[in-house]
Amino acid sequence: MPEGDSLHRAARRLQALVGERVEVESPHPQAAVKRLPERLSGRRPEGVEAVGKNLLLRFEGGLVLRSHLRMRGRWQLRPRNGGRGAGRPWLVLRGAKQEAVLWNGPVLELQGRGVRRLGPDVLAASPDFDAMLVRLRETDQRREVGDALLDQRLVAGIGNAWKAEALWRAGLSPWRKLGDTGDDELRSALREAARGMRASVEGRRERKGTYRRAGRRCPRCGTPILSRGQGDDNRIAYWCPSCQT
Ligand SMILES: [Zn+2]
């Protein structure tokens, strides 16, 4: 699962094409129906950024190409014509020397639709924790904190691993109802998510607390870590039953 931090790395790679006139191809039939080559060829990308789990490529003329990588999508940067005949990518943006290639891009759309529905980006240069808090309070307060943190309309960018780690660091159980959780507690979890993900983007590795550590001991208190599916998508929550309340 590409999480927010791997998307930021992809965004950095794609910076190489900013300002160049690109040739556009969409070899994959599912992408071909979107007629992106007709609409984008010859335009210059003006910027590329990761917003939550979305990668946004802004083109001159106000067009924004949004890709969401879901489970298997991947943006690759390679030398121009570097992979002739090797599979059918969704999209190729070809510059003078390099080309950006999107593989398995289940969500690919032009313009800004969908982007506005996303919550504030946890990986923004200065994350807007107040705005995240407002969204977390606007949703049904019977929802569990661990479920709400994965809802990209409330906070964009937190994936399952960082949800687990942020809640563990904040000492907050993923099963607590939003309505039973204080603003300061939510803010603390959001800060931990932002801090940990930022560290990961910058290549600093931190010891994991609970993620994929079910049955092993909590590094803080020694209690065995538990795991169970949570939310509509049944994503696995990991938590320490002693120090996350
Ligand atoms: Zn513990």
Instruction: Please write the tens of the pLDDT for every residue from 68-86.
Output: 877 778 888 999 987 766 7
Please state whether the predicted TM-score (pTM) of the whole model is above 0.85: no
Question: CB neighbours of 203 closer than 8 A, spacing ≥ 6?
Answer: none
The CA-based diameter of the chain, rounded to the nearest angstrom, is: 59
The whole-number pLDDT of residue 243 equals 96
The whole-number pLDDT of residue 213 equals 96
Of 53, 89, 163, 174, catalytic: 53
CA dihedral in degrees (72, 78, 82, 85; nearest 10)?
Answer: 10
Question: Comparing C-alpha atoms, which of 174, 147, 173, 197 is closest to residue 2?
Answer: 197
53 included as an active-site residue: yes
Euclidean distance between CA atoms 19 and 16, whole angstroms: 9
List beta partners, residue 230: 235
2 included as an active-site residue: yes
Q: Per residue in 150-164, pLDDT tens?
A: 998 899 888 899 999
* Average pLDDT per block of 10 residues along the chain, 245 residues long: 70 92 85 77 87 83 80 86 79 92 81 61 88 91 96 88 96 98 97 91 87 96 97 91 97
What distance in angstroms lies between residue 160's CA and the mean position of ligand 1's atoms? 19
The whole-number pLDDT of residue 111 equals 66
Query: Which residues are within 5 Å of ligand 1 (an ion), measured at CB?
Result: 218, 220-221, 223, 240, 242-243
Would you give the distance in Å from CA 32 to the centre of its chain?
25
The whole-number pLDDT of residue 183 equals 95
Structure tokens at 14: 């794609």
What distance in angstroms lies between residue 173's CA and the mean position of ligand 1's atoms? 11
What distance in angstroms lies between residue 223's CA and the mean position of ligand 1's atoms? 6
Q: Per residue in 205-230, pLDDT tens?
A: 888 999 999 999 999 999 999 999 99
What distance in angstroms lies between residue 172's CA and the mean position of ligand 1's atoms? 11
The whole-number pLDDT of residue 6 equals 77
What distance in angstroms lies between residue 235's CA and the mean position of ligand 1's atoms? 21
34 included as an active-site residue: no
The whole-number pLDDT of residue 31 equals 75
What distance in angstroms lies between residue 92's CA and the mean position of ligand 1's atoms? 47
Orientation angle between helical segments 183-201 and 160-170, nearest 10 degrees: 130
